[in-house]
Amino acid sequence: MGQEYKDINKEELDNLVTDEQLYEGKAKKVFATEDPNLVLVSYKDDATAFDGTKRGTIRGKGAVNNQMSNYLMNLLENEGIPTHLYKEVNETDTLVKHVDIIPLEVIVRNISAGSFANHYGVEEGIVFDQPTFEFSYKNDDLHDPLLNSSHALALKLATPEEIKTLREYALKVNDILKEFFLSCGVTLVDFKLEFGRTPDGTVILADEISPDTCRFWDVETGEKLDKDRFRRDLGNVEDAYQEMMHRIFG
Ligand code: TMP
């Protein structure tokens, strides 16, 4: 895969990216490129919640999620976490390394919220002494059920070594991002990561890190600055995404 694309111009990009759509998810489209090791991810403004039963549009979300995710992946890469990031090509589109996604949602929590609060019957906002680590099986038909490591092994979703790596990486990502967001006046409550395998079997961080996939609370006021504003009809959804952009990029 070519370093030669890193300073890609418009014409080279047009020649590289094909019209072949490999995948359309709820929030992104993925296009093939002429390089089998690279794909183009195009972030959409579409938002869904509760397994796609709630649908809407969050104006500007694609641009925010693309740029925020790339900024954070670059930060993590510099701290030793391998990621899929290759090159941002415009506000909403990024070239990333082609991986096979491991069908596990890797979730880390610092504070009780969302499904944790619901499952265990506790209020939101309890600060944990240590972060929690959990998997969900990435399977919409089954509603992404919670599962443990032995379930993941039984279902052959990952190898024992991969599970160890996912845990190590996710907890390191938490340490790095918690500190980073604190410097932006934001508490990192919880987040979901997805990882993929490169053709040589290396596990790297993939998907996105954005207000769609994290809970962000303002340090001072506790105001929610993430997709919970959409999920829970709290209003000012677009403003929250823009506010997170300002916190990171100034
Ligand atoms: P949860 O509390 O609903 O399990 O969510 C935990 C974290 O995972 C939260 O930061 C939001 C994120 N998340 C996703 O990225 N995708 C999803 O489909 C869900 C349900 C949660």
Contacts of 250 (CB under 8 A, 6+ apart): none
Ligand 1 neighbourhood includes 84 CB (under 6 angstroms):
no
Helices (H), 1-140: 10-16, 61-78, 114-120
pLDDT tens, residue by residue, 19-62: 999 999 999 999 999 999 999 999 999 999 999 999 999 999 99
7 has a pLDDT exceeding 80: no
Q: Average per-residue pLDDT in the chain?
A: 96
Q: What is the CATH number of domain 10-98?
A: 3.30.200.20
CA of 8 to the centre of ligand 1 (A): 35
> 107 CB under 6 A from ligand 1?
yes
- Cβ distance 249 to 67 under 8 Å? yes
Mean pLDDT of 192-197: 98
Q: Cα(149)–Cα(199) distance, rounded to whole angstroms? A: 24
Kindly report the backbone phi and psi dihedral angles of residue 198, in degrees, each rounded to the nearest multiple of 5, phi listed first: -75, 170
Whose CA is closest to 65, among 80, 45, 84, 79?
Answer: 45
Token pair in block for residue 204: 């790297």
CATH fold for the domain made of 101-236: D-amino Acid Aminotransferase; Chain A, domain 1 (3.30.470)
User: Is the pLDDT assigned to residue 2 strictly greater than 50?
Assistant: no
Atom index in ligand 1 nearest the CA of residue 214 equals 10
Phi/psi at 199 (nearest 5 deg)?
-55, -30
Residue in 238, 190, 241, 239 with CA at minimum distance from that of residue 69 = 241
| C-beta of residue 146 within 8 angstroms of C-beta of residue 136 | yes
Spans of all domains in the chain: 10-98, 101-236
Asked if pLDDT for residue 4 goes beyond 80, the answer is: no
**From the CB of 135, is ligand 1 less than 6 Å away?**
no
User: What is the residue whose two structure tokens read 């489209």?
Assistant: 29
The predicted-structure confidence for 139-162, as pLDDT tens digits, reads as follows 999 999 999 999 999 999 999 999
Give the torsion sign (CA, 201, 202, 207, 213): positive
Q: Residue 200 corresponds to which tokens in the numbers above? A: 């040589």
Beta carbon of 216 within 6 Å of any ligand 1 atom: no
Pocket test for ligand 1, best of 213, 214, 232 (most atoms within 8 A of CB): 213
pLDDT band at 1, cuts 50/70/90?
low
Residue nearest to atom 16 of ligand 1 (CA): 213
Q: Going by C-beta distance under 8 Å and a sequence separation of 6 or more, which residues neighbour residue 127?
A: 110, 111
In terms of phi and psi (left: phi > 0; alpha: psi -120 to 50; beta: otherwise), the region of 78 is: alpha
Residue nearest to atom 4 of ligand 1 (CA): 115
**3-class DSSP state of 185:** coil
